[in-house]
Amino acid sequence: MRLLISIPVLATAAALSGCGGSDDSGINTGIQISTSLKGLSVEPELSAVNAEGIGGLTLNSEVSGFIADQDMVSFSYDATSSGLVVVSLTSTADDLDLTVRGGQGSIDSSSLDSNEIIVFDAINGSDYSVIIDSYEGEGNYTLKVVRANRETLDLSENEYLASLNESELRDCGSFTSNESTDYFLVFNWTNGYLGKDDGKTKFTSSEENTIVIEYSESESEEDYSYSYEGTLTVTVDPNTGVIYGTDIWSDIENYQGDIAECSYETTLSGQIEL
């Protein structure tokens, strides 16, 4: 499995789990990103809306409602401008999930609680569906649809949101494949980690503006084993926010003596957005 694995998206989107922007440090890299790349820092003023009888979601609005156990609530969102949009959900229910559908596909946020957040790149004139699904429990909820900003995403001082494209070449001997994926990822270049909260991965090393993460994992049962290992290398221009790098890894799967081995070469390119 890939270190940078993420949910395929509408055009450019990804789920960001959890909330709370602590600065739990990895290595001290010395990389200082220009503060001019932080973009919109404060959440725009939101208009309060009751979910009952709502005609559709609008940008920079906050919807309040109630969802029953095992129920689903769906809203339409017609984008009147292009740009990054954050959809965030909080609730007293035990476990709600959030989905945005439209454009070329869908993106889901399904943590183990009801704090869900999605970022997607809205296209002017496109229609989207925002769906709340009760996996377990009922309760009041608050849904925000807001122009992307650091406050709503709860980015700490040194955390930056980056949009990334990865182009992956997979070679399994008897067959090869190419795949391209767009997603978002949080980097803390200064304190040495990517991801947020429980999903943080610390940098292994750094040199100038380049960071390296070496990773591996294995699992085995009576008739089955699987392992992978790889190295992620990412370089950032701290003044322009341009990102590029590679993720080189391999895996091996053994099921009752039937062995499958694959190697992967992934090229990364992207840009700091916030």
- Position 227 scores a pLDDT of 92
Q: 163 and 6 in contact (C-beta within 8 Å)?
A: no
Name the average pLDDT for the chain.
Answer: 85
- Position 198 scores a pLDDT of 67
pLDDT in tens, 141-197: 999 999 999 999 999 999 999 999 999 999 998 889 999 888 889 999 999 998 876
* Interatomic CA distance for residues 250 and 229, integer angstroms: 6
Which residue numbers in the chain have pLDDT < 50?
Answer: 1-23
- Position 11 scores a pLDDT of 27
What's the pTM value of the predicted model, to 2 decimals? Answer: 0.83
The CATH code belonging to domain 47-150 is 2.60.120.380
- Position 24 scores a pLDDT of 54
Residue with tokens 């009922």, as numbered in its chain: 138
Give the residue extent of every domain in the chain: 47-150, 160-272
* Interatomic CA distance for residues 203 and 119, integer angstroms: 24
- Position 76 scores a pLDDT of 92
- Position 12 scores a pLDDT of 28
Q: 235 and 242 in contact (C-beta within 8 Å)?
A: no
Percent of the chain as helix, strand, coil, to the nearest 5: 5, 55, 40
**139-147 and 83-91 strand pairing:** antiparallel
Given phi > 0 = left and psi -120 to 50 = alpha, else beta, which region is 158? alpha
Phi, psi at residue 218, to the nearest 5°? Answer: -150, 155
